[in-house]
Structure 1
Amino acid sequence: MNNLNRRDALKTILGGFGSMALSSNLYSQLAPPSNLSTNFSGGPKRVIFFLQNQGFEPKTCIPLGMTSSGSLANATLPEPIKALQPYRQKMHIINGLHGKHTSPNHSAFFGALGGYRGADGVPPSASTIDYELSRVLPKTLLPHLAIGMDSLGNMSAKPTIATLSASGAGQPIFMYSNPLHLYKLLYGGLATGELKNQHEAHSSMLKSIEHIARTSGVGLPAYDKNLYSQFTKGFEQMNGLRARLDKASGDLAQFAPKLDKLYTNPTFETDWHDRLLDLGISALKSGMTNVLTIGSGRGEIFGSWKGLGVEKQGHNLGHMPQHDNPIWIKIRQYNSQMLVKLIQELESVPEGSGTMMDNTLIVYTSNNADKQHTKGETWPFILIGDCNGAFKTGRFTQLDGTRPINALYTSILNTVGVKTARFNMSEKMAARYDSSTGPLKEVIA
């Protein structure tokens, strides 16, 4: 099915519905924030956020010999990201943004994508940039998908976890860590045999819970009834989403990854990491989602990469210097190979006069600024994709540390038509942490 037919098929499936799933795991949003004006006229049609935990040491991404801003045309990328060397003209490496106001320390958690104070156990104080973008990008069945990669033990014990994304104050968005669970959600309608039985049983159970929950709130006081209605609405919308995905399964079948034994019997955690990435790519290529958030380490202080030959794991990795460290070179190279796969897969799908990658922005960074126990004084980012000229590429930019990560998020919002001077930063906060206002002139073309 070519790209045009794929989009037409999904339009038919989507036809007429006004809102989709809003639950602890999946949700939808169709209207822009009431305080922002939107005029979608270009920029990215989809955005991918890839966050590696334990920090992003600048020397692992700054081109060799470069100490000031300049072109990447003749640059040599450092060993940890050398896999991206052929794509340097599509890249913009940025150093010198700060996140001091996010109190990162071990992790900024929701603050990494929210641009506000975040800490272990601290709920989100506002929505995050990935959620806000999913509100204004073209409609899809599943506007936002979040996947989290960790050790096998953590992914098995907590197959969903919320640490990075939020739809509002106190409203975390969960990410998926068990690839079989995610496969059944996205492609359960295609299942056969025992997997089909499991999918149908799960759907039936959720419908029963929805019915019980809806009929059990009678007689509650008004305030409690309002809270309870939000709870029951979550089941209603989750079931609605599952039904729509099942209905779309025939059109989505060609994009479903091969379901192999490593979904249920992985040898290493990286087997699950790779399959989660495949599912994320399939959701993008099928047009099922326009925003993908990848949390390597799931926004926390853990993480494991035994499949790469790295025996050390968890918090200990954060106390190791990343520059010229063979362990961190392996981890960062693994990430870079994932980024290359994302680029190549999106380049393989025609879209408009180019490919999906021509309309995609990839944002690679950390949930923890530059290192463990950081104050967030410098927070490196790599942007990949110019989105038809919306972003400057082929550049390394060294900033002076006076603009926050919020300024980058403001820049991205402006490219999709959300005209705002600040993202999640009051004038009082900006007076202390931001030397300017509006998008970063160094980033926007």
Structure 2
Amino acid sequence: MLNRRTMLRHMAAGAGAAFSLPLLPNQLMASPTSNSTPKRIIFFLQNQGFDPLTCIPDGMTTSGSLAKANLPEPISALEPYKERLHIINGLHGVHTSPSHSAFFGALGGYRGGDGVPPSASTIDYELSKVLPETLLPHLCIGMDSIENMTTKPTLATLSASGAGQPIFMYSNPNHLYQMLYGGISSGDIRRQHEARSNVLNQVEQFAFNKGRALPAADKQRYGQYVQGFKDVNGLRDRLDTVADHLRKFAPKVDERYTKPQFETDWHDVLLDLGISALTSGITNTLTIASGRGEIFGAWKGLGIQQQGHNLGHMDQPDNPIWVKIRQYNSRMLVKIMETLESVPEGSGTMMDHTLIVYTSNNADKQHTSGANWPVMLLGNFDGAFKTGCFTQLQGKRPINSLYTSLLRASGVDCDRFNMSEQLAKKFDDGNGPLKEVLA
């Protein structure tokens, strides 16, 4: 297994991972061991909450099959995929304090807040460590207003590799394209890629030289920054070695990248890049943050003029604005599934070995206590999860128990994720994974 990364803090390029071992071109795709199959996981978090009435079919108050149910309008695009869907209601996250957002706590299962650093790693990072090796084990992309994505092309509010170690997410698709596919591009993209590469190489050497003169007490900390630049440069070089393979998967660059009319143009191409990173085998863990884990976000491309925090103060059920946003999310989920379904893998397809987790970074609504945290699962992760059903829980088990289930399905023997016995006595009525979701 790869020796996973040391967090590169404050890196303008937004890199959040370091890699110690090179992979050969024929090892790019995540390859299984004799007792496992390639697996991948996608987290999709929409900000401002996920009201259960926007996903639970009318009349369903107890657990049961979705076969004869009609999905609500906001997620109607998923109707043809009900056999792959599992809707979960009744988990809680009161211990995360998710009022405006739980921030890192949403995927960490611990107390979060605006400006509060992560207190431990998040579930997406932990899963990236145990899934099959790839060049970029974990990729985070963030969708926001065009102004925010332009002025703040990277942001760290949702994923973390450890206490005080946030992982940056990409929000400018041009930067992400350069990182993934700059080495196989031509024209301006190629020139920008080479110029940026030269700068990063110079910064790495400059930082190394300056660090040698530091007092011993500061060398270790400074060395982490130097290592971060070295790792980013090494990743770029390794991507260049598999250029022929990557050419088959690189999305076509059009005016949506360089002249976006609306922020949804960038949302769409960011999704394309995330999907291409999965299908090419560059990564096996993708985190998508619509609203970037905060309280902002805009969808003018859907005809929605309201944006930001005001959206959180609107009731979601039967609200035409939120119906449009959730339908847009659902179409994105369908695009992910259909693309992965089209790629053969083993005796089936990539989707057969994939799980998509859709939820919000602040439970059911804005200004929530976190007493109810709805989640949708799509796919079965190579048969590990039940599908085609609705599960109603009683609000006595935390989101940590779902994350424990994900780890168990990935081969990790654990009973609790980021929750001490003392906290569990107060916030968890059980122990171990959720038996209601595992097959």
**Range class of TM-score, shorter chain:** over 0.9
Query: Paired residue for 2:281?
Result: 287
After superposition, what is the alpha-carbon deviation per residue over 1:227-254, rounded to whole angstroms, capped at 9, x for unaligned? 1111111111111011111221221111
Shift of 1:198: 1.0
Contact 1:128 1:165 in 2 (8 A): yes
Aligned twin of 2:388: 394
Question: 2:326 is matched with which residue?
Answer: 332
**For 1:108 and 1:149, how far apart are their aligned partners in 2?**
17
For 1:176, the equivalent position in structure 2 comes to 170
Counterpart among 302, 312, 335 of residue 341 in structure 1: 335
Q: Take 1:308 and 1:412, find their aligned partners in 2: how far apart are those partners?
A: 33
State the match for 1:127 in structure 2: 121
Q: Which moved more, 1:245-254 or 1:139-148?
A: 245-254
Give, in whole Å, the separation in 2 of the partners of 1:41 and 1:440. 24
Aligned partner (choices 215, 218, 223) of residue 221 of structure 1: 215
Determine helix, strand or coil for the equivalent of 1:216. helix
Deviation at 1:218, TM superposition (A): 2.2
- CA shift, 1:225, in A, is 1.0
Two-structure CA RMSD over aligned residues (Å): 1.7
Check 1:71–1:163 CA distance in 2 against 1; reply closer, same or farther (3 A cut).
same
Q: Which residue of 2 is the match for residue 374 of structure 1?
A: 368
Conserved 8 A contact 1:44-1:361:
no
* Runs of 4+, deviation exceeding 4 Å: 16-22, 28-31, 39-44
Residue from 197, 200, 216 that aligns with 2:191: 197
Q: 2:17 aligns with which of 24, 27, 45?
A: 27
User: 2:19 and 2:150 mapped to 1: Cα distance?
Assistant: 30
1:242 aligns with 2:213: no
| Alignment-mate amino acid for residue 195 of structure 2 | A
Aligned partner of residue 156 in structure 2, secondary structure:
strand
Aligned twin of 1:76: 70
- Segments of structure 1 that go 5 or more residues without pairing to the other structure are 1-15, 32-38
Q: 1:240 to 1:17 in 2, by over 3 A?
A: farther
Structure-1 residue corresponding to 2:103: 109
Aligned length: 423
Q: Secondary structure in 2 aligned to 1:418?
A: coil
Which residue is 1:35 aligned to?
none
Whether the 8 Å contact between 1:42 and 1:415 is mirrored in structure 2 is no
1:363 to 322, 344, 357: 357
**Structure 1 residues 40 and 402: alpha-carbon distance in aligned structure 2, compared to 1, 3 A threshold:** farther
Listed one character per residue, the Cα deviations across residues 359-413 of structure 1 (whole Å, up to 9, x for unaligned) are 0000000000000000000000000011232101111000000000000000010
Report SS of the residue matched to 2:107: helix
- Give 1:56 shift: 0.2
Once the two structures are superposed, residues 275-324 of structure 1 have per-residue CA deviations (whole angstroms, 9 ceiling, x without a partner) of 00000000000011000000000000000000000000000000000000
Distance 1:416 1:302 in 2: 33
Letter of the 1:114 counterpart: G
Change (3 A) 1:350 1:43: closer
The equivalent position to 1:136 in structure 2, one of 105, 130, 140, is 130
Percent sequence identity is: 67
| Rounded Cα–Cα distance in structure 1 between residues aligned with 2:126 and 2:4 | 16
Which ranges in structure 2 are unaligned for 5 or more consecutive residues? 10-14, 22-32
Give 2:245's match in structure 1, choosing from 251, 270, 282: 251
Counterpart-to-counterpart distance in 1, 2:83 and 2:326: 20
**Deviation for aligned residue 1:42:** 4.9
Measure, in 1, the Cα distance between the counterparts of 2:380 and 2:153: 34
Structure 2 CA distance for aligned equivalents of residues 20 and 99 of structure 1: 28
Q: Does 1:232 align with 2:226?
A: yes
- Give 1:346 deviation, angstroms: 0.2
Query: 1:361·1:385 contact (CA, 8 Å) conserved in 2?
Result: yes
